Amino acid sequence: MEHTAILENGRVVTVRSLRPEDINLSFSFFKALPPEDRKYLRRDVTRYSVVRRRIELMEQDRMQLLIALAGGEIVADGALELANHGWGDNIAEIRLIVARPWQRIGLGTLMAKELFMLAAERRVDRIVVRMMRPQKGAREIFRKLGFQDEFILPKHVRDQSGEWQDMVIMRCNLEDLWEEMEGLTSDQDWVLHR
């Protein structure tokens, strides 16, 4: 999967799956994020071993990773992590981070939609996103895509600086999307616009 997209301000990105050989690009992307953006990430991605582990999970088909590239550098990273266990077989979680100069121009929404479509292709029934309460921009992106707040767990997780934060769990049910996609997959316009 690889395609070019034009964002709201006319900037162009290439969206594609992360490849194992992209490990150094990926590490550079995460290292370049300002500390305040990394603060709410689940793992310390400034450690090379953490970035390498993500690629290992991708190679084991437990995670699908998408990147947006501009000028040979990663400007956004998205993950679709499949539960792959018993009662969670049809549940996936989405995670997304966009470099600060690329925020608020539609790239986060574009990446979220691409991850949404990967979930649809994998026949996922429900998608979950977990984030910390201060991540208001991310919550807004997912609300636009049909996610709703399901739970807020007060002081449930620690951010990268060690402070307790409320965790927000949002969920989207894809059952309605399946019916819509059944008609769209045979429509050539769908293929051309994706």
What pLDDT, on the 0 to 100 scale, is given for residue 141? 81
- Give me the torsion for CA of 19, 64, 147, 100, rounded to 10°: -20
* Distance, CA of 92 to chain centre: 11
pTM (two decimals): 0.82
What pLDDT, on the 0 to 100 scale, is given for residue 79? 94
Distance CA 38, CA 160 (A): 7
Query: Residue 181: which pLDDT band, with cuts at 50, 70 and 90?
Result: very low
Q: What is the DSSP letter of 87?
A: G
Domain extents for the chain?
A: 2-193
Which residues fall within 8 angstroms of residue 36, CB to CB, at 6 or more apart?
Answer: none
Which residues fall within 8 angstroms of residue 110, CB to CB, at 6 or more apart?
Answer: 5, 7, 13, 15, 68
pLDDT at 187 over 50: no
Q: Which residues pair with 192 in a beta bridge?
A: none
**Helices 136-144 & 107-121 angle (0-180, nearest 10):** 50
What pLDDT, on the 0 to 100 scale, is given for residue 87? 62
Q: Please write the tens of the pLDDT for every residue from 27-58.
A: 999 999 999 888 888 888 889 999 999 999 89
What pLDDT, on the 0 to 100 scale, is given for residue 11? 94
What pLDDT, on the 0 to 100 scale, is given for residue 176? 55
Q: What percent of the chain has pLDDT over 70?
A: 87
Instruction: Write down the CATH superfamily of domain 2-193.
Output: Gcn5-related N-acetyltransferase (GNAT) (3.40.630.30)
pLDDT at 156 over 50: yes
- Polymer length of the chain: 194
Which amino acid, residue 73?
A: E
pLDDT at 180 over 70: no
Q: Please write the tens of the pLDDT for every residue from 1-17.
A: 899 999 989 999 999 99
